[in-house]
């Protein structure tokens, strides 16, 4: 069994309101090392922080951040990280916020999880597990409708039907299903990259990309996004098969349903993940302890009111 805490990942956090130079300096104040302006590379205009472990943190421009002047757009791109690096990443997030950066409505947060352990079958598991819980994940992450329409599109039911019909076994099999024909070297801006769960990234960079999270400079929320996504990947890797039938989103029981999925389905139970659960549940209606709300008692406190 694969423990999600052994999986490697990277994060891209978009923010506005502060220059890339000052955002890079904020990162350096936490991770140590040196800051350097790398110079214009296309439109990215990157700054780079080489930390005390010789890893590269980059701060680049992002043209999609249209609610800020070009010099005040910053996307923080982490190096490859491990679970043990999360506390330091959280300190980086806090330092960037203290430096004056903000996560506005135009910003997103993308998480890349290493694809080294995937097969075609387990990639199919991941897509089906995500698709089954897609609507409640969208609500829990608070994904805005404008992002769902353009940069974070829902997984298509047609893709799930193809997976369930053709049973991909290899990475190449899944490539054909994802792109429509075998495409070993897809272009960087292939339209399929704008899926809430992006497999085009696997064939470009070797990682599966989760695009559903809104950007945040709340360190606890960033940790919640990471832990949830890693646990979801581990579930796909550890499962022999997965169900792709979508679960109906019910606002009456949403908070309870998501808590059960996170705690029981993904193993995020106990004190270690208490704040993860709390942060992910805050956007959902309902009661986390009672599926349809706490029972109402009559005056004597013995009978439930029907």
pLDDT of residue 296: 75
Task: Give the pLDDT band (50/70/90) at residue 267.
Answer: very high
**Cα–Cα distance list, 216 to 120, 176, 283 (Å):** 32, 35, 14
Is the pLDDT at 189 greater than 90, yes or no? no
Of residues 285 and 302, which shows the higher confidence score? Answer: 285
pLDDT of residue 306: 46
Long-range contacts of 225-228 (CB under 8 A, 24+ apart): 225/109, 225/111, 225/141, 226/9, 226/11, 226/86, 226/111, 227/4, 227/86, 227/268, 227/273, 227/276, 228/262, 228/266, 228/268, 228/276, 228/280
Give per-residue pLDDT as tens, 230-257. Answer: 999 999 999 999 999 999 999 999 999 9
Q: Would you call 214 exposed, middle or buried from its count of C-beta atoms within 10 A (0-12, 13-18, 19+)? A: buried
pLDDT of residue 103: 94
- The pTM for the full model equals 0.93
Long-range contacts of 64-72 (CB under 8 A, 24+ apart): 64/14, 64/106, 64/108, 64/151, 65/14, 65/16, 65/104, 65/106, 65/107, 66/106, 67/16, 67/104, 67/105, 67/106, 68/16, 68/17, 68/104, 68/106, 71/19, 71/20, 72/16, 72/17, 72/18, 72/19
Averaged over 155-174, what is the pLDDT? Answer: 97
Task: Give the pLDDT band (50/70/90) at residue 43.
Answer: low
In 10 A of CB 71, how many CB atoms?
A: 12
222, 89 in Cβ contact below 8 A? Answer: yes
Written in H, E and C, the secondary structure of 224-265 is HHHHHHHHHHHHHHHCCCCCCCCCCCCCCCHHHHHHHHHHHH
Enumerate the domain spans of the chain: 4-239, 250-306
Q: What does pLDDT average to over the chain? A: 94
Is the pLDDT at 36 greater than 60, yes or no? yes
Q: Distance from CA of residue 231 to its chain's centroid? A: 11
Angle between helices 219-238 and 274-281 (to 10 degrees): 100
Beta bridge partners of 37: 47
pLDDT of residue 63: 86
pLDDT of residue 300: 54
Give per-residue pLDDT as tens, 82-139. Answer: 999 999 999 999 999 999 999 998 898 999 999 999 999 999 999 999 999 999 999 9
d(CA 95, CA 101): 9
pLDDT of residue 263: 96
pLDDT of residue 298: 57
Averaged over 289-296, what is the pLDDT? Answer: 86
Give per-residue pLDDT as tens, 195-222. Answer: 999 999 999 999 999 999 988 999 999 9
Residues above pLDDT 70, as percent of the chain: 95
């Amino acid at each position: 069994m694969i423990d999600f805490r052994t999986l490697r990942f990277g994060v891209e956090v978009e923010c506005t309101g502060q220059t890339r130079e000052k955002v890079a300096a904020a990162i350096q104040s936490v991770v140590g090392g040196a800051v350097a302006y790398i110079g214009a590379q296309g439109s990215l205009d990157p700054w780079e922080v080489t930390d005390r472990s010789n890893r590269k943190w980059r701060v680049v421009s992002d043209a999609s951040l249209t609610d800020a002047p070009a010099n005040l757009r910053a996307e923080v791109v982490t190096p490859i990280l491990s679970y043990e690096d999360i506390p330091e990443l959280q300190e980086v997030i806090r330092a960037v916020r203290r430096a004056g950066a903000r996560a506005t409505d135009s910003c997103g947060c993308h998480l890349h999880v290493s694809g080294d352990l995937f097969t075609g079958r387990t990639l199919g598991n991941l897509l089906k597990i995500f698709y089954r819980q897609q609507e409640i994940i969208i609500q829990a992450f608070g994904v805005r409708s404008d992002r769902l329409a353009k940069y974070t599109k829902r997984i298509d039911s047609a893709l799930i039907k193809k997976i369930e019909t053709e049973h991909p076994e290899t990475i190449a099999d899944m490539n054909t299903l994802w792109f429509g024909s075998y495409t070993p070297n897809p272009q960087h801006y292939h339209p399929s990259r704008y899926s809430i769960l992006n497999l085009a990234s696997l064939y470009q960079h070797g990682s599966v990309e989760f695009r559903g999270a809104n950007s945040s400079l709340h360190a606890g929320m960033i940790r919640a996004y990471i832990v949830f996504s890693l646990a979801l990947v581990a579930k796909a890797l550890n499962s022999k098969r997965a169900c792709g039938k979508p679960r109906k989103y019910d606002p009456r029981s949403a908070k309870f349903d998501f808590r059960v999925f996170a705690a029981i389905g993904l193993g995020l139970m106990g004190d270690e993940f208490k704040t993860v659960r709390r942060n992910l549940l805050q956007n959902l209606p309902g009661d986390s302890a009672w599926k349809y709300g706490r029972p109402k008692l009559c005056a004597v406190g013995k009978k439930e009111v029907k």
